[in-house]
Amino acid sequence: MKISTKGRYGLTIMIELAKNYGNRPTPLKAIAQTHDLSEHYLEQIVSQLRNAGLVKSIRGAYGGYVLAKEPSKVTAGDVIRVLEGPITPVEGIENEKLPQQRELWLRIRDAVKNVLDGTTLLDLANYSEDREAMEGYMFYI
């Protein structure tokens, strides 16, 4: 399974919203500038996330976007399914004639699902914050 830029940028949006959860709304312009992404493209993506009930839009001078649920309640799998569709390494796994190949494709699918569904936005936000905190330190072995 190949995750497109839509899925990757969608996760970027969601991680930024998770990092700001509980604070004021985050404008897409700020996310676009921080990550050097097209604001117009992010608007298209966030529209799908809003329609799926993962984000809420807040209007006004201090408007922007917020997560619709706590970061610990939204998984990377939730986001990827909204933006990319079903998680499957090959089309038509059920119709695979060779049982050995079907088993392999099912195992790959299940492994990817387990990682995506076992990783919350809180995990991803904390990971990126931990990494940022570590910048500037040099480790010697």
Task: State which H helix or E strand residue 26 sits in.
Answer: none
Q: What is the CA radius of gyration of the chain?
A: 18
Tokens of 137: 């330190």
* Angle made by CA atoms 47, 53, 59, in degrees to the nearest 5: 60
Residue 28, pLDDT score: 95
Task: State which H helix or E strand residue 130 sits in.
Answer: helix 121-134
pLDDT of 125 strictly over 50? yes
* Number of helical H runs and strand E runs in the chain: 6, 2
Residue 129, pLDDT score: 58
Query: Distance between CA atoms of 10 and 49, rounded to whole angstroms?
Result: 8
Looking at the DSSP bridge assignments, the partners of residue 58 are 64
Tokens of 131: 């990494």
Residue 138, pLDDT score: 46
Q: Which CATH number does the domain 5-134 belong to among 1.10.10.10, 3.40.50.720, 3.90.1150.10, 3.40.50.11540?
A: 1.10.10.10
Split at pLDDT 50, 70, 90, the class of 131 is low
Residue 95, pLDDT score: 77
State pTM to two decimals. 0.85
Residue 127, pLDDT score: 83
Buried b (16+ CB within 10 A) or exposed e, 13-51: bbbbbbbbbeeebbebeebbeeeebeeeebeebbeebee
